[in-house]
Amino acid sequence: MRLARGHVLIGINEEALLAGARNVEKALRDGLAEAGLQEEIEVIETGDLGATGQGIMLSVFPDGVVYAGVTVADVAEIVSEHLLKGRPVERLRLAARPTGPTGLTKKQPRIVLDNCGVIDPESLEEAIASGAYEALAQVIESGTKPADVIDVVKKSGLRGRGGAGFPTGLKWSFTAPGEQKYIVCNADEGEPGTFKDRLILEGDPHRLVEGMMLAGYAVGASKGYIYIRGEYSLSIERMQKAIDASREAGLLGEAILGSEFAFDLEIKKGAGAYVCGEETSLIESIEGKRGFPRLKPPYPGAMGLWSKPTVVNNVETLANIPPILRHGAEWFRGYGTESSPGTKVYTILGQVAHPGLIEVEMGTPLRTIIDEFGGGVAEGKRFKGALIGGAAGAFVNAEGIDVGMDYENLKEYAAVLGSGAILVLGEDASIVEMLRGILHFFQHESCGQCVPCRAGTPALRAIMDRIVEGHGSQADLDDLVRIAETMQAASLCPLGQSPILPIQTALDGFAEEFQAALHQGAAVD
Partner 1 sequence: MRSLLEKYPQTAEHMLDMLHDLQEAEPRNYLTRDALRAVADYLNVPLSTVVSTATFYSMYSLKPRGRHIIRICESPPCQIVGAETLIDLLAQHLGIGVGETTEDEVFTLETTSCLGVCGVAPAMMIDEELYGNLTAARVVDVVEDVRRRDATG
- Which residues in this chain contact partner 1 in the complex, by CB under 8 A? 14-15, 17-19, 52-53, 189-195, 198, 229-233, 268-274, 285-291, 347, 349-351, 355-356, 387, 390-391, 421, 423, 425, 429, 433-434, 437-438, 440-441, 444-445, 447
Question: What does the alpha-carbon distance between residue 184 and residue 170 come to, in Å, rounded to a whole number?
Answer: 16
Closer residue to partner 1 in complex, CB, 82/196: 196
Closer residue to partner 1 in complex, CB, 268/461: 268
Question: What does the alpha-carbon distance between residue 510 and residue 515 come to, in Å, rounded to a whole number?
Answer: 9
Work out how close the CB of 149 gets to partner 1 at its nearest, in angstroms, rounded to a whole number: 29
Work out how close the CB of 234 gets to partner 1 at its nearest, in angstroms, rounded to a whole number: 9
HEC readout, 113-168: CCCCCCCCCCCHHHHHHCCCCHHHHHHHHCCCCHHHHHHHHHHHCCECCCCCCCEH
Alpha carbon 296 to its chain centroid, in Å, reads: 26
Work out how close the CB of 273 gets to partner 1 at its nearest, in angstroms, rounded to a whole number: 5
Closer residue to partner 1 in complex, CB, 31/55: 55
**Cβ pair 425, 516 in contact under 8 A:** no
Work out how close the CB of 306 gets to partner 1 at its nearest, in angstroms, rounded to a whole number: 8
Work out how close the CB of 308 gets to partner 1 at its nearest, in angstroms, rounded to a whole number: 13
Question: What does the alpha-carbon distance between residue 8 and residue 51 come to, in Å, rounded to a whole number?
Answer: 17
Closer residue to partner 1 in complex, CB, 98/437: 437
Work out how close the CB of 343 gets to partner 1 at its nearest, in angstroms, rounded to a whole number: 20
Closer residue to partner 1 in complex, CB, 288/380: 288
Pairing of strands 421-426, 343-350: parallel
Closer residue to partner 1 in complex, CB, 341/496: 496
Helices (H) and strands (E) in the chain, counts: 21, 13
Please work out, in degrees rounded to the nearest 5, the angle formed at the alpha carbon of residue 211 by the alpha carbons of 153 and 347.
95
Work out how close the CB of 19 gets to partner 1 at its nearest, in angstroms, rounded to a whole number: 8
The residue type of 27 is: A
DSSP, collapsed to helix, strand or coil, labels residue 430 as: coil
Work out how close the CB of 5 gets to partner 1 at its nearest, in angstroms, rounded to a whole number: 33
Question: What does the alpha-carbon distance between residue 447 and residue 449 come to, in Å, rounded to a whole number?
Answer: 6
**Cβ pair 189, 315 in contact under 8 A:** yes
Work out how close the CB of 244 gets to partner 1 at its nearest, in angstroms, rounded to a whole number: 17
- Counting every residue, how long is the chain? 525
Question: What does the alpha-carbon distance between residue 336 and residue 211 come to, in Å, rounded to a whole number?
Answer: 21
HEC readout, 293-307: CCCCCCCCCCCCHHH
Closer residue to partner 1 in complex, CB, 322/499: 499
Work out how close the CB of 374 gets to partner 1 at its nearest, in angstroms, rounded to a whole number: 12
Work out how close the CB of 65 gets to partner 1 at its nearest, in angstroms, rounded to a whole number: 22
Please give the biggest Cα pair distance in the chain.
Answer: 74
Closer residue to partner 1 in complex, CB, 50/157: 50
DSSP string, 329-349: HHHHHTSB-SSSBSEEEEEEE
Closer residue to partner 1 in complex, CB, 141/287: 287
**Cβ pair 204, 115 in contact under 8 A:** yes
Closer residue to partner 1 in complex, CB, 112/324: 112
Closer residue to partner 1 in complex, CB, 42/189: 189
Question: What does the alpha-carbon distance between residue 199 and residue 193 come to, in Å, rounded to a whole number?
Answer: 13
First to last CA, the chain: 59
Alpha carbon 46 to its chain centroid, in Å, reads: 17
Closer residue to partner 1 in complex, CB, 273/450: 273
H-type alpha helices, 158-302: 168-173, 196-203, 205-219, 233-248, 279-286
Work out how close the CB of 271 gets to partner 1 at its nearest, in angstroms, rounded to a whole number: 4
